[in-house]
Chain A
Amino acid sequence: MAFDPVTDYPLGSRRPDLVTTPSGLPLDDVTLAGARAGSLAPDDTRATAGTLALQAEVARAAGRVQLAEGIERAAELTRVPDDELLAIYTALRPGRSSAVDLEAWAERLEELGAGHNAVFVREAAEAYRARGLTADG
């Protein structure tokens, strides 16, 4: 059945069939019994990019454009390893990075399939350059 971002929220209650873990385990199979049987791995208990994309649709259908964009960026960031995620955050803090550093992160994000985030980082680099917030600024 097709996804309706207005009537299918909350996904967990109304459309569990659309939700899986990163390894593909259906939401309904995420149970204590499954955990006992060892079918659940700790790093498998999180939202997939696909689920977050559906949540972004829900936000957009409710008229929340920026929230939708934030969740879309989050969907992309599921593909970014933890240490790099923190490294990019640190790089975006004021005075931490040169324009070149930030461009390198933007390219890395593109490699990881995080195009919206790459645009976001380039936009920051431009604003930082104008406001003297780059390391070389």
Chain B
Amino acid sequence: MADARRSRRFTAREESELRREVLVEPWPELGLVAADGPADPEPELVVENGRVVRLDGRDAADFDVIDRFLVAHGLDLEVADEAMALPDERLARMLVDVDVPRDALVRLARGLTPAKLARVVGMLDPVELMMALKKLRARRDPGNQAHVTNLKESPALLAADAAEAARRGFDELETTVGVARYAPLNALALLVGSQVGRPGVMTQCAVEERRNLELAIRGLVTYAETLSVYGTEPVFADGDDTPWSKAFLASAYASRGVKVRFTSGTGSEALMGHAQGLSMLYLEARCVSVVRAAGAQGVQNGSISCVALVLAVPGGTRAILAENVLAAWLDLEVASGNDAIASHSPIRKTAKLMGQFLPGTDFVTSGYSIMGRRDNTFGGGNYDADDIDEWLTLQRDWQVDGGIEPIEELEALRVRERAARAVQAVFAELGLPAVTEAEVEAATLAHGSADMPDRDRAADVEAADELLAREISALDVALALDRQGFEDVAEAVVGMLRQRIAADYLQTAAVIEPDGLVRSAVNDPNLYLGPGTGYRLEGERWALLQALPHVVDPRSLGAAVADADAIVEESGPAVPGSDPAEVVIAVGPAFADGLRETIAGLPHDDVLAAVVDGVREAGGSPRIVRILRAADVAFIGYDGAGLSGSGVALGLQSKGTAVIHRADLQPLDNLELFGMSPLYTLDSYRAMGRNAAGYALGQRVGPVPTELDNFARAKLIVRTTLLHAQEARAVVPGAAPVELEIVGSARQRPRSGRLQGSAPAAGG
């Protein structure tokens, strides 16, 4: 009979967020295999008389629409012979070799078939993939893109969020619509907000192609990344496109001044039911090959909306990183996913993120949710407004530029309010339904759309239709801003029109600097060739990314208190006592002097009083001495014990760590050690005093009950270090201990010197 018992640990783990997700064994027939699928073709390219007659296991007569497109536009037969002849291992080694320049690899990739590309990239382990990605990224400087949406499609909130995102350094902002007809209003709010936050930030509105093109023609958006491609013919057709239609659309966008990025990503073919038994990575190699062949400058890939499906199969996270590498190897700009929710588990999704975050990509996320998650109408928000401090801290931890800058709260409020006012002004000038003062105020301070007043949505969509019908363009927006006193924002919008006219941002991996300079892989190429080369986070940028608003100056913590009233005074050298009931309370060099409270915020005078009380309660006679020669609690206690008539002492460091010592023990041994100083109350110190007296008088003593806080160290180790440093600075080497007398009122508080943020003393 089966054992029906359950482990409480197993059942507890079953309740975790992670376990909401289904993991599956590979099932290659359905495409549920990350890489190296059993049916993936052998890499193959046969050229006869300048014509490709076989490609990756297929004869020309059997080429599907993707093969045909790649043969017509994708493969450079001039390098194909050389590239295809290189052994897989050789190419794989070149990908990670810092002495092989990016250019050489990009040239070879022009002649590689999808099966060869997938095979080679599939040989790399995660760290090798990161190395390859770092080396192959098109533009030198990594960047990031933000998502800006909200459930109420509030224009003031969209503008405020766009402004904050732009101010935080995102190079591109993407919005979409809950209701399709809102598109022109959302695009307008994003344009105005973005240019308030930082001139040059590019914007897009992800909507149906015809509508999108219309917005582009009006200059209300500057880029598009909605052009999806797929790795099998049936899925391409189900997506209602072919490589030719998508390539034509890309050129159509470019002809209207729109920067175009395609979208692909592992998992979509399996999800749409036509993976043809092929692995996700191989199909993605076909996709990115089509993207390059179509003449696109870049791609948004890294599984994107199917990420959770890819993570369900073994090696999924690795395959997603591999597909980013494929795109970069094909010389494409990469916006590397991390936008859709990858996992319920913060550990799992962030582990996945590191694959792109550490090497850096052209856009580390293809949409960081600048709002809270519930306002993300893309159906995602892998990282959102509530995670900004986490992201900034990761950048600071790794010394890595993930494309988001810290800003002070007041600066966020300033740009948010200005953007909301600017959009209010444009709405007024263009005769759109008014944005009220209440909306401006709410958008400035809001966490999300729940904080926003409701608008008349019927009136808004009517106005949106009218906006298009009236052919309102970015030029009208600039003039409206100008008339309402937003001259600098109007200048920025005209600057975006100049960009459209010059079209520099059509080049690979282009972003626009605040002064209008376009930076792309043409004039800012990634020339990484090992340590000391390529993009390095240093200098002013590193100073900016490490200066988070909540970082404190360590010199401001636990400062000495020269003007505080004295708590104790020295009354001469301490000599050994003879009273068998005596308990020496031996304090550290800075106790009640340079330092005035414990790490828990307990004033030293109160702590002394509590210990003295405790000793007396248990029948002992307390005597206070200061140890000057050591800052370590063991030696403070040990030296005290040597002076004690009973041989027992309570050693007390300034930060509150304590020890009960006895003269016959080795210095680093003890009777009881109290290392959890952040958790102690005055009652704790009273109990320590009682126990010390108990030992002195030879009574049976139960240890002082203590609590455990496993996070105490993480929270307080900086303060511990600083307090200890101050104690150590007060050490006088070789100095003899001195006798102390308590002076003044026991209730007096130091006037300064309280640690910032330290916990208030219990009952104090």
Q: A interface vs B, CB < 8 Å?
A: 9-13, 16, 19-21, 27, 30-32, 35-36, 40-42, 45-48, 51-52, 55, 58-59, 62-71, 73-78, 80, 82, 85-86, 88-89, 92-95, 117, 120-121, 123-124, 127-128, 130-131, 133
Decide: A128 and B242 in contact? CB cutoff 8 A.
Answer: yes
Decide: B69 and A127 in contact? CB cutoff 8 A.
Answer: yes
- Tell me the smallest distance from the CB of B673 to a CB of chain A, in Å: 67
Please tell me which one of the listed residues B236, B244, B501 contacts residue A19 in the complex, with CB atoms under 8 A apart.
B501
Cα distance A66–B292 when bound, in Å? 7
**Which B residues are CB-close (under 8 A) to A20?**
501
Instruction: Count how many chain B residues have C-beta atoms less than 8 Å from C-beta atoms of the other chain.
Output: 76
**Which B residues are CB-close (under 8 A) to A35?**
475, 478-479, 482, 494
**Which B residues are CB-close (under 8 A) to A128?**
65, 242, 244
Cα distance A47–B503 when bound, in Å? 6
Decide: A45 and B474 in contact? CB cutoff 8 A.
Answer: yes
Decide: A12 and B516 in contact? CB cutoff 8 A.
Answer: yes
Cα distance A32–B488 when bound, in Å? 10
Return the chain B residue nearest A126 by Cβ: B68
Decide: A46 and B501 in contact? CB cutoff 8 A.
Answer: yes
Return the chain B residue nearest A70 by Cβ: B295
**Which A residues are CB-close (under 8 A) to B523?**
9-10
Decide: A30 and B497 in contact? CB cutoff 8 A.
Answer: yes
Decide: B518 and A93 in contact? CB cutoff 8 A.
Answer: no
Return the chain A residue nearest B473 by Cβ: A42
Cα distance A40–B475 when bound, in Å? 8
Which of B32-40, B248-256, B460-468, B558-566 lies on the face that meets chain A? Answer: B248-256
Residue among A40, A70, A75, A117 with the highest chain B CB neighbour number at 10 A: A70
**Which B residues are CB-close (under 8 A) to A13?**
504, 516-518
**Which A residues are CB-close (under 8 A) to B478?**
32, 35
Which of B212-220, B636-644, B677-685 lies on the face that meets chain A? Answer: B212-220
Decide: A74 and B233 in contact? CB cutoff 8 A.
Answer: no
- Give 6 nearest A-B pairs by CB, closest first: A70-B295, A12-B502, A74-B254, A124-B244, A77-B255, A92-B245
**Which A residues are CB-close (under 8 A) to B217?**
82
Any chain A CB within 8 A of the CB of B257? yes
Residue among A63, A82, A120, A127 with the highest chain B CB neighbour number at 10 A: A127
Decide: A70 and B247 in contact? CB cutoff 8 A.
Answer: yes
**Which A residues are CB-close (under 8 A) to B490?**
32
**Which A residues are CB-close (under 8 A) to B471?**
42
Q: A42-B219, A69-B73, A82-B213 are in contact. Are A133 and B65 (CB under 8 A)?
A: yes
Return the chain B residue nearest A22 by Cβ: B501
Cα distance A59–B103 when bound, in Å? 14
Please tell me which one of the listed residues B74, B248, B293, B476 contacts residue A117 in the complex, with CB atoms under 8 A apart.
B248
Please tell me which one of the listed residues A12, A36, A62, A74 contacts residue B255 in the complex, with CB atoms under 8 A apart.
A74
Decide: B503 and A30 in contact? CB cutoff 8 A.
Answer: no
Cα distance A79–B518 when bound, in Å? 26
Q: What are 11 A-to-B residue pairs whose CB atoms are below 8 Å?
A: A11-B503, A19-B502, A35-B475, A42-B219, A59-B522, A62-B508, A67-B297, A73-B247, A89-B245, A93-B245, A94-B241
Please tell me which one of the listed residues B241, B250, B500 contacts residue A93 in the complex, with CB atoms under 8 A apart.
B241
Contact with A along B514-554 (1 / 0, CB 8 A): 00111011110000000000000000000000000000000
Any chain A CB within 8 A of the CB of B587? no
- Tell me the smallest distance from the CB of A42 to a CB of chain B, in Å: 4
Cα distance A104–B254 when bound, in Å? 24
Any chain A CB within 8 A of the CB of B296? yes
**Which B residues are CB-close (under 8 A) to A94?**
236-237, 240-242, 245
Any chain A CB within 8 A of the CB of B487? yes
